[in-house]
Amino acid sequence: MSDKELRRYSRVVVDGDAQAPSRAMLRAVGFEEDDFKRPQIGIASTWSMVTPCNMHISGLADEAAAGANEGGGKGVIFNTISVSDGISMGTPGMRYSLVSREIIADSIEAVAGAEGFDGVVAIGGCDKNMPACVMAMARLNRPAVFVYGGTIRPGAKRRDIVSVFEAVGARSGGSISELELLEVEQTAIPGPGACGGMYTANTMASAIEAMGMSLANSSAQEAVSSDKLADCRRAGAAVVNLIRKDIKPLDILTKNAFENAITVVIALGGSTNAVLHLLAIAREADVDLSLDDFTRIGAKTPVLADLRPSGKYLMSELIEVGGIQPLMKRLLDKGLLHGDCMTVTGKTLAENLANVADYPDGQDVVREFSNPIKPNSHLAVLYGNLAPGGAVAKITGKEGLLFEGKARVFHSEEESLQAILDGKINAGDVIVIRYEGPKGGPGMREMLSPTGAIMGRGLGSDVALITDGRFSGGSHGFVVGHVTPEAAAGGPIALVEDGDSIRIDAQNMEISLGIDADEMAARRAKWKRPPSPVTRGALAKYRSSVSSASEGAVTIPSAWDE
């Protein structure tokens, strides 16, 4: 490639007499004469001090920029936002969490497009900024590598953030004291890094690596480690290599790559949020991905990793035995992955995995195919008269595969949580939390506070919860989210009344409300959408353009009239 071909975008910004003002501005931020002849690599940093997930990323961005410089490019660091799910969970602020995914993707696209970057390294460390980074990469379609900020180290007694949420329920049930709750609070989060189980951050990091958009093992490194620093440095150099080879995100983000990601998420027992985020990334990549693809792939893919929240081990313990690369090698050898998919190394997935060693003897973090935790997917896509557009359940089998009970209906997460903490939820109840969907929230809040409280009160096997909202990757139990159409759109979940019979059948993939069609029609005729206090700002703009959860809850611009 010629010098100009390497600088496909930046040359428009810096070449020629007319661009002297641009060069003058860039000299002030550190460019030297030779830098104008190098491809510019935008380093999208999600650093902030609003969450431990991202508090260390500034240093990682420095490493990525250094790697880009060493590889023959010019690294330019810029920031985007992040919000903390763990801090905003259970509060009105959680409405901004999923909205932030769109804001982050928009901001990375805007900066990279405006500045004329030839390539991008994006470093994400928390749930929504990770898929947002890849969504922006797909839109831009310039050579790019995603870097995961890394997982947090375990707290005292192998605690993590979910330990704190469940301790709140235990305290309300009287099984621990106020001092014991305080001790859990003070010791669960020891420093930087994303939440430590196979929750959404570690799930999405693994999915992005499986898709080929991260370097090997980027998903399986602790935030505070020499491995993570080296990963960032390699990523900077890798983008320059991708520019030279003219390999772009849409060369990598094929339908088969998404199938690889789904397979790995299932094998790891990953978060239901992966369904939402992979659908969203696929839309940006113009790949035809649907809920039914998760069902099809899930029928032949076992759950093999015994990871939290429903399992025993933390991400750090998976890292100790080798991370996800040996698991991917096993899946490839079983014919469950597409080995011919291109990756950001410039090689295919099969080439990357060719020399990967298996897990050490004696480990039980990842099981053999002959002894799976579940022989097929834990991510169950359910349909029925309660969710004609689909719903997503996370059922490992430990909770059972069938639940039938009586509805206890709540119009918000706060109402349901108070009822749980007050001891007003009993065995056999199906908690229904509605008007928490993408439009109804707006923002589709996660229900970790209610599910954590249920577990903490010892009701995990006796109570089900369904919602048009969604769940944190830390939620477990008999839980069903993403119910579509949502209540705010007049979906059947809006018509449920206290005492109605609800049946959740994970074997037959059905979720049904025990009333007949005439009663459903009578209730629909009387239904009116409740007013929303949201009238302006980011939440209102999101509500006006967001799609359903079954389509990834992405914002869809109105049609452009020619």
Q: Does 442 sit behind a cis peptide bond, omega within 30 degrees of 0 on the bond before it?
A: yes
The neighbour count for residue 132, using CB atoms within 10 Å, is 30
Residue where the block lists tokens 């830390």: 474
Distance CA 430, CA 99 (A): 28
Q: How far out from the chain centre does Cα 382 lie?
A: 20
Could you say which of 214, 472, 475, 548 is catalytic? 472
- For residue 503, what is the enclosing H or E element? strand 501-505
Extract the tokens encoding 128. 């929504």
Find, among 43, 33, 39, the residue nearest to 72 by Cα. 39
Find, among 47, 52, 51, 46, the residue nearest to 191 by Cα. 52
**Cα–Cα–Cα angle for 449, 181, 480, rounded to 5 degrees:** 20
Q: Are strands 379-384 and 387-394 parallel, antiparallel or unpaired?
A: antiparallel
Distance CA 169, CA 175 (A): 9
Q: How far out from the chain centre does Cα 299 lie?
A: 22
Distance CA 524, CA 531 (A): 17
Distance CA 465, CA 198 (A): 21
Q: Does 21 sit behind a cis peptide bond, omega within 30 degrees of 0 on the bond before it?
A: no
User: Is 469 exposed, middle or buried, given 0-12, 13-18 or 19+ CB atoms closer than 10 A?
Assistant: buried
Active site residue 472: yes
Distance CA 341, CA 264 (A): 14
Helix axes 95-115, 273-284, angle to 10 degrees: 30
Cα separation values, 119 from 248, 440, 546, Å:
9, 38, 29
Extract the tokens encoding 437. 């969907």
Distance CA 474, CA 467 (A): 16
Find, among 240, 238, 345, the residue nearest to 7 by Cα. 240
Distance CA 201, CA 194 (A): 6
- Beta strand residue intervals within 386-477, DSSP E: 387-394, 402-410, 429-433, 464-467
Find, among 120, 63, 131, the residue nearest to 97 by Cα. 131
Extract the tokens encoding 558. 């109105």
- 180 φ, ψ (degrees, to nearest 5): -70, -40
Q: Which amino acid appears at position 167 of this protein?
A: A
Catalytic residues, by residue number, are 472
